[in-house]
Chains A and B, each alone.
Chain A
């Protein structure tokens, strides 16, 4: 309570601004929703259990988080634009908050959920399923993610953000050195979001294993689906390790254990646990993107994916090796040389399965008819960017050289090359590609190209100089650097690049706005010049709530393409129409998420009554759910027939 009072007394200007914009956004949203009578519509989304709607909500919310973290990136770049610069209030502690939340939000609340959201829409369509295995749990995952996200995001205006980096190393992250709620937001917020992620992953696994259409053998699944399957397995194991790490940090901060303390305990335990999670996490956010690129490149080259089988095995191998390299983030902590070289070797070995994928993509294009629409542009941009980032990764794996690179801007360069190159390009590619499937309209190609070129050129201007900055001796997470070491102009170039990226993002937003407002609905199932190959392009755009009026019988890896080659317009749906069972919508996930949110606030501020109240809410909703016998409802047969015959061919 005390800290809340204290907070209102000492408001710096940036927080006042954040508060004001927060209030304005709330009022504006409320006003608009009321003005256009959209509350009911909003509620129907909130309570929806349709995998497509849930996926879209994932995308929307994580895009908002992306804007926030991107804005932070711009603030970081402004503070670093000149040597010994003093931009606004972002020096010292405030700067540390910026980097920490930028990294945390980008990794946990942007990269991961963006991909999960997109895959939520696409995977059931690709395997010919009518929904995911557990629609209720799917919605719950979403709301847990949103609760955790809200928690991390309001920290800035309520008591201080986490400020020990996205890696939150102990002992800096312990009460002794960072008192107050700031670093409690991190373990508690991520615990809630992480729980949702694990549930989502289990949902994907069961869906993919158990709900495939007849004939859709494992080795006929599209690569997006394959990579989401492997990613989900990685999530189940990696996020459980994270859960323990976060639990440990929570205990340290709230209940007084001293396991991580510098004097009695061992702070390295945190680093091991964190990276046992952390390295698989970077593949968790890369593999689904690889899947998207596989589908996109094959579609826009009009070619079957080269080396399908080896692609699948490469994903599995990457996932497996991903758990055996974590120490490469800890080469400088003083472990013995044998350990370091072992992990150097495993690290470098990952280049091989990744290389297999790169070359397979290249050879998919060979002999094709390549078109350069925006999804493909992003895929091509990915190849260039990611290979550059990947090879710096291998350089980082060379232990003694890493003594130089570690915690310098060289690492910052590497991580943005691979993450933006894979994840962000992947999501943009996928969003352009599947937008017509999600919303029934094509995004504007011209704006798409503006979006692509500004974003990519800005990207290289922002991050290429960082390699050199690192080699010049600029450590990461510094809010300033001295005049006269020659760091100035490269930093300035980087800042300019960041703004160009911002313009790219604005083009993207403009594109969405104009398309939604003025775009024409597409009538085809497969609006991409009849190049589609997989099942999602056999249903109307957007698909009906039940996706497939009649479940397809799959006889090849690329059913639609096979049909095209046979001069057909679409695959043949056989069998009779029948009534379709649909899951009922439910408000429980929303309330459970909110109960978690309340409990989390209680924990963060150590107000136990609130925490207990929240947990009681959680258990109440769980009990209600356990006793619920909502069995969904049926869409009658004649309605299904009417809908299906009414549209398309």
Chain B
């Protein structure tokens, strides 16, 4: 996978770091980036083949002066060629499908208890997010603070319409539906502030339904928890 990163970086040359998805700070995001790069590599091969043939045929077989009245030989097809462009794409698809399946199941797997996951109940409503930490019995709004390197299980739901919970740098999104609870798991691997968004059209202020995700180290997180608890008690 390392070599893929290099290709990916080379592909975008500069400005890569400002592209959130290519610069993940969470476990889920990393796995998704692997797939992105793998598919990008495979697709680049496809594009290269198609464009090479395209340019070559256009240059070689354009009508030259004096050919206006030609009758070129009419070919109906070619079995070998036709089979090759069934088989090769099939192989490419298998190469992409297998890691896709594996990653899908991996991301779907619950954390086990000795990983000490933190559960956060996320509720979307027009037009704000609230984050409830059952473990500490505190709620924060439009600001999500999580500890670094500790697995997080988000339990997502909605009070009204469908929203979608997305922190591009930590990992892909999951919808927050009314009357249903969805689960999203990820672990942040670097402290910092990452922007979070609502990705499902939910009304007039859908664009403004953002939140900050602040990843803290263990101590800072505990300090924050304490402060929040005091705040709740007062």
Contacts and interface: CB of A to CB of B under 8 A. Distances in A.
**A, B co-complexed:** yes
A276 B164 CA distance: 22
B191 interface: no
Contacts of A384: 51, 54
Contact of B162 (A171, A356, A401, A468): A171
Given A302-B70, A303-B74, A344-B104, A394 B43 contact: yes
B118 interface: no
A624 interface: no
Given A334-B182, A337-B105, A344-B97, 13 more contacts: A171-B178, A302-B71, A304-B76, A306-B77, A332-B172, A366-B61, A399-B103, A403-B171, A407-B200, A473-B20, A475-B197, A486-B18, A529-B68
Interface in A354-408: 355-356, 358-360, 362-363, 365-372, 380, 383-384, 387-388, 391-392, 394-395, 397-404, 406-408
B173 A406 contact: yes
A371 B65 CA distance: 11
Given A341-B101, A475-B197, A387 B47 contact: yes
B106 to A, nearest CB: 8
Contact of B32 (A267, A303, A403): A403
Interface residues of A, number: 91
Given A362-B57, A371-B63, A475-B166, A406 B50 contact: no
B228 interface: no
Interface string A232-272: 00000000000000000000000000000011101110000
B35 A332 contact: no
Contacts of A302: 63, 70-72
A348 interface: yes
Interface in B69-90: 70-78, 81-82, 85-86, 89-90
Contacts of A518: none
Interface string A612-625: 00000000000000
Interface stretch (B141-149, B201-209, B218-226): B201-209
A407 B173 contact: yes
A395 B20 contact: no
Interface in A413-439: none
A177 B160 contact: yes
Interface in B159-195: 160-162, 164, 166, 168-169, 171-175, 177-180, 182-183, 195
A263 B159 CA distance: 9
Nearest to A358: B50
A473 B100 contact: no
A398 B31 CA distance: 12
Contact of B204 (A96, A267, A345, A471): A96
A165 interface: yes
Contacts of A400: 28, 31-32, 35, 100, 103-104, 107, 172
26 contacts: A96-B201, A164-B201, A171-B178, A172-B162, A172-B203, A264-B179, A267-B177, A304-B75, A306-B77, A307-B76, A308-B76, A341-B100, A341-B104, A369-B67, A370-B61, A371-B62, A383-B54, A391-B43, A395-B36, A399-B103, A403-B28, A468-B19, A470-B21, A475-B199, A478-B206, A480-B207
A481 B206 CA distance: 11
Contacts of A92: 204-205
B202 A485 contact: no
A370 B72 contact: no
Contact of B174 (A262, A334, A341): A334
Given A400-B103, A407-B164, A471 B21 contact: yes
Given A171-B162, A337-B104, A365-B61, A356 B86 contact: yes
Most chain B C-beta atoms within 10 Å of own C-beta, residue among A262, A264, A400, A470? A400
Contacts of A388: 47
A242 B218 CA distance: 52
Contacts of B78: 306-307, 363
A402 B172 contact: yes
Interface string A281-306: 00000000000000000000111101
A268 B177 contact: yes
Shortest 6 CB-CB contacts between residues of A and residues of B: A403-B172, A262-B178, A473-B168, A478-B207, A334-B182, A391-B43
Chain B: number of interface residues, binned into ranges:
35 or more
Interface of A: 92-93, 96, 164-165, 169, 171-172, 177-178, 262-264, 266-268, 301-304, 306-310, 332-334, 336-337, 340-341, 344-345, 348-349, 351-352, 355-356, 358-360, 362-363, 365-372, 380, 383-384, 387-388, 391-392, 394-395, 397-404, 406-408, 468, 470-473, 475-482, 485-486, 529, 564-565
Contacts of A332: 164, 172-175
A557 to B, nearest CB: 9
A362 B145 CA distance: 54
Nearest to B76: A304
Contacts of A309: 77
Given A341-B101, A362-B53, A407-B173, A481 B39 contact: no
Given A177-B161, A262-B161, A366-B57, A334 B175 contact: yes
A307 B82 contact: yes
B72 A303 contact: yes
A249 to B, nearest CB: 15
B158 interface: yes
B6 interface: no
Contact of B197 (A304, A368, A473): A473
A358 B57 CA distance: 13
A171 B200 CA distance: 12
B7 interface: no
A572 B212 CA distance: 75
B89 to A, nearest CB: 5
Nearest to A265: B179
